[in-house]
Amino acid sequence: MSVHLIDPDAVNLPQEATIIALAAWYVSSGGALTFRYRNNLATGATDTLVFEQDFNSSETRKPVNYSVTTLNVVANSRYSYGFGTCISGTNERFTDARITYTYTNAGD
């Protein structure tokens, strides 16, 4: 099993954007666990936005798509945001991820 974490400081979203969905692509013979989280900068507490398991074991590149419906408004002054996957099996490989969001102000 391997864990792939994207540094929370590397996930930069516009202030007050609304996160709609998370997509990830991986190759595995044992499936994957995908998660998206935010860390409270004042307390260090972590909130989970997505925590989903996919049982694909085809050893072919596969997309997984998850809706984000709670805790989905970006507040950069209070939280840092991160993303990760855990994949298991042979030939395991995380390849890509995409966060879909909407916003009305392009400023950060």
Domain extents in the chain: 2-101
Beta-carbon contacts of 69 under 8 Å, excluding residues fewer than 6 positions away, are none
Q: Which residues of 8-42 are buried (b: 16+ CB within 10 A; e: fewer)?
A: beebebbeebebebbebbbbbebbbbbbbbbbeee
Question: What does each C-alpha distance from 82 to 37, 55, 76 come to in angstroms?
Answer: 5, 22, 12
At 2 the pLDDT is 52
Q: Kindly report the CATH number that applies to the domain delimited by 2-101.
A: 2.60.120
- Summarize pLDDT for 55-86 with one digit per residue, the tens: 666 777 777 777 888 888 999 899 988 877 77
Ranges of residues in the chain with a pLDDT under 50 are: 1
